[in-house]
Amino acid sequence: MSIINAPSLANCDFLTFGEQVKELVDGGAAWFHVDIMDGHYVPNLCFPVKVISELKKAYPEVLVDVHLMVTDPIAYIPQLKAQGTDYVSFHMDATNFSRRVIDMIHQQGMKAGVVLNPSQNISVLNPVLEYVDYVVVMTVEPGYAGQKFMSGSVERIEELIKVRTEGNYSFLISVDGGVDYPNALACARLGAEVYVTGNFTVFKQDLPLAEACRKFQKVMEEEQAKR
């Protein structure tokens, strides 16, 4: 599968949000990564669900990937469907009913993902791996944009890819947090597909956003082709 660039819209300048989103699309971004935080699961607030429908109205061809950082993920699922969400991931430690959440997401016609925090052992995913469409590996502690990629994260992704291969699973692997070129390239060599990009690759670069997106896609696909 081709590399998927999923820019995190939390990195946008909110005063020029619309213009920056257009630049991301012009640069070929295939997904929008939208963080929804409730101020409880993480000590931060981000994005009302309404932004999803506005994004889909303007750019229906781009997939919206919602990352729920909330204490009650089930409560959000009907709203996310109504707004036009394509992919939904949630933290398994935010609910006692992960299978129920996954089933509800699928029943609403959306793709379901689970999120692995840096402090969680990969084995916590074992009960759900055959049911999810993707796994988000947090390479920072969740809640804030702009953090640096945590040491040991590449090795965790390598371990998850081994689990996927040995179990003959088909879920995608998304890398989220502090994604920079050295670490992203290492993950591409291993076989991770989705990259939640931010300030180290796409935003706050010496290039316009669209050009930065095109550069990331090109560099990553060239590295993936070497596998």
Domain boundaries of the chain, sorted by first residue:
4-224
Active-site residue among 26, 35, 103, 206? 35
Give the model confidence (pLDDT) of 9-25 as tens digits.
999 999 999 999 999 99
Task: Answer yes or no: is pLDDT of 82 > 80.
Answer: yes
* Active site (annotated) includes residue 176: yes
Active-site residue among 38, 65, 133, 176? 176
The domain made up of 4-224 has a fold known as TIM Barrel (3.20.20)
List the end-to-end C-alpha distance of the chain, in Å, as a whole number. 12
Please compute the mean of the pLDDT values over residues 137-154 and round it to a whole number. 88
Q: Which residues are CB-contacts of 208 (< 8 A; sequence separation ≥ 6)?
A: 23
Task: Answer yes or no: is pLDDT of 26 > 90.
Answer: yes
Model confidence at 142, pLDDT cuts 50, 70, 90, reads: confident
pLDDT of residue 8: 97
pLDDT of residue 225: 84
